[in-house]
Amino acid sequence: MVEPYYQFTTTTTLLLLLAFYGGTFLMSLLVRHKNENVDGYMVSSGQVGFGISAASMTATWIWAASFYAAASSAYTYGLSGAMHYGFWGALMILFIYPFGQRFRKLAPNAHTLGELMHARHGSSSQLILALSNVLGSSISLMVNFTAAGAVVSILSPLSFVHGVLIAGIGTLAYTFWSGFRASILTDVAQLIALMGVAVIIIPWVMFSAGGPEVMVQGLERLTAEQADFFSRTAILEQGAPFFVAVLAYAIGNQTIAQRLFAVRQDLIKPTFLTATLGYGAVVIGLGMIGLMALLLGVQPDGGDLNNIIPQMASTYLPPFMIGLFFLLVVASLSSTADADLTALSAIMMTDVYAKNIVKGRADPQKMLLIGRLTMIVATMVGLILASFALDILVMLVFVGALWGTVVFPVIASCYWPRVTNRAFTWAVLGGMLLFTTVRFELLPMVGVVGFGFEMIAAVGAGVVAGLMSFGFFGRTVGLAVGLIATLVSAWYFAGFLGDYTVLLASLVAYGASTIICVALSLMSQEHFDFDLIAQRVRRFQATDAQPDETGAVPAPQPSPAE
């Protein structure tokens, strides 16, 4: 049997990894300070410029699973597959910016979204967001380290565990001292690698495989659904569930919020517009490799669709280009792993220590110690979990659902003064309960029960459409679009959506949390003063120095603890 993968020597592999992680470590030294500023460690200066912010946002959103999943989607669903993964993911980056502008207006000095919720509601709402992000970022670390182990074991004589260890230690090394500033600075180099290699690899694979003519001839291999760009199967099984999932990711994930709170406030819109285009171009382009494999009749090695991209690279690229592909994977996983490390450190420093343990009387030096210890522990946990190569589907399902249930309560809390802490908390818990019931089929989705859940899902579809419209066009358009989408979905979903469990469960998470949040809020008489948020959310350590575009500032003198 012919070995489907080209392999580097151990020496070549180690040199490539040393070049990448050594280079990023040297870059991180540019922003390292002997006396670190605690706010700079979490969100830089809050005045990061356009270029670095856009590059960091794009690189963070493109994680190791992105192009593997895009290729798998294209291989499975044909012409529309890569679009369903890349386009909807890009759209969600665009979706966040109008709400991001509102978050920054309310809390210009925030470090986490949970911190904003603490100022709005109190500890329970904040800790719900913190817990979901601890779980989500830990799983993300595990996935990225697992991807490193897999690509190293495939393309070199080194083992899976060797790849996991090198990626974990390498990422920790350049992120540890300067935190978020190191993450966004190295993201620039990582994005250049991602985009440059993608631009070269995609056409190289196509022409090595025989060019456009061969691809056109391969169209006869497609099924009717794969050949249909508007395939209903692709939409219901891939496009719609992913669209709903990444909407939750955009609102709930601290890695996104951290970059939102770091960029200069007037640059939020152009930053996120640019990141939208960058993400879409890279991921849709890499997904095309999966479509090429389908058109060429390539069978994934071992039946594993995740092998499609490395298999195509090994088959149709020369050794030098395979080396660039190897760096592409390493850059993508590292850009997200370092974002997860800085997100986890900010959550432990702000949401756990500063706001709940010492109740706002935080010691900046202790905060830095907690942040760095968090990175070490998180890396160890990620390495251990990755070394076991665990099945992460169940955990991802719960984290995705938790983020889905917080979308409406978080956004409503920033616009509607009647939302209470009780409404927020019970909306999330109730949404999670109903999601679990549907996703794991604890009740049969037939008859009256099935119809009831389909109607809740219809509300969820209306919420998704309404929130997107509200963000861009205001309250009146948002309410109108949401109502129309709910009515249309109710008619369309009845007796039908129960056959698509993943999509039904995801929409139920949105719908149930919204219904509970609105009902409990209407029962209250609270009218919150939003000006209080900016008064309650303040920096932990002041400095009079002016930052540069990366957020680097001269070593500050500590201010008295709050």
How would DSSP label each residue in 47-99?
A: -B-HHHHHHHHHHHHS-HHHHHHHHHHHHHHGGGHHHHHHHHHHHHHHHHHHH
Report yes or no: 241 and 506 within 8 Å, Cβ to Cβ.
yes
Domain assignment present for residue 3? The answer is no
Q: Tell whether 536 is covered by a domain.
A: no
Domain co-membership, 429 together with 376: no
The predicted structure's pLDDT at residue 544 = 38
Domain contains 153: yes
Contact in structure between 27 and 186 (CB atoms under 8 Å):
yes
- Domain check: are 378 and 508 in the same one? no
Residue ranges making up the domain that contains 520 = 393-528
| Dihedral of alpha carbons 259, 262, 266, 267, sign | negative
**Residue that finishes a domain, picked among 366, 391, 416:** 391
CA distances from 185 to 55, 175, 336, 341, 437 (A): 9, 10, 13, 15, 43
| CA nearest neighbour of 437 among 464, 421, 457, 461 | 457
Regarding whether 320 and 419 lie in a shared domain, the answer is: no
Asked if residue 204 is part of any domain, the answer here is yes
Q: Based on the domain organization, do 373 and 403 belong to the same domain?
A: no
Number of separate domains in the chain: 2
Residues 401 and 417 in one domain: yes
- Short-list 341, 368, 376, CA closest to 183: 341
User: Whose CA is closest to 482, among 458, 498, 505?
Assistant: 458
Please check whether residues 384 and 509 belong to one and the same domain: no
> Are residues 410 and 315 part of one domain?
no
The domain that holds 347 is classified in CATH as 1.20.1730.10
Residues in the chain, overall count: 562
> What is the reported pLDDT for 533?
96
Same domain, 413 and 399: yes
Residue whose token pair is 């978050």: 103
- Among residues 360, 391, 422, the one where a domain terminates is 391
Number of Cβ within a 10 Å radius of residue 492:
13
pLDDT of residue 344: 95
Distances (CA, A) of 47 to 171, 218, 266, 551: 25, 50, 9, 7
Going residue by residue through the chain, which has 562 residues, state the pLDDT in tens, using 9 for 90 and above.
345 678 899 999 999 999 999 999 999 988 887 778 899 999 987 889 999 999 999 988 887 667 778 888 899 999 888 888 888 888 888 888 899 999 999 999 999 999 999 999 999 999 988 888 888 888 888 888 888 888 888 889 999 899 999 999 999 999 998 999 999 999 988 888 888 778 888 899 999 999 999 999 999 999 999 999 889 888 888 888 878 877 888 887 889 899 999 999 999 999 999 999 999 988 888 889 999 999 999 998 878 787 888 888 888 999 999 998 888 888 888 998 999 999 999 999 999 999 999 988 889 999 999 999 999 999 999 898 887 765 544 555 566 666 889 999 999 999 999 999 999 999 999 999 999 999 888 998 889 999 999 999 999 999 999 999 999 999 999 999 999 999 999 999 999 998 888 889 999 999 999 999 999 999 998 899 999 999 999 888 865 344 444 444 444 433 333 3
Q: Is residue 4 in some structural domain?
A: no
Q: Which two tokens stand for residue 501?
A: 């469990």
Cα–Cα distance for residue pair 104/100, rounded to 1 Å: 6
Alpha helices in 317-392 (DSSP H): 319-346, 364-387
Predicted pLDDT of residue 514 = 97
Q: In terms of domains, do 121 and 184 share one?
A: yes
**Structural domain includes residue 538:** no
Flag whether 468 is in a domain.
Answer: yes
Same-domain check for residues 321 and 212: yes
Look at residues 245, 261, 329 and name the one whose alpha carbon lies nearest to residue 99.
Answer: 261
Q: How far is CA 94 from the centre of its chain?
A: 13
The predicted structure's pLDDT at residue 84: 81
Does 156 reside within a domain?
A: yes
Statement to judge: residues 162 and 310 lie in one domain? yes
Same domain, 407 and 470: yes
Last residue of a domain, which of 391, 409, 436? 391
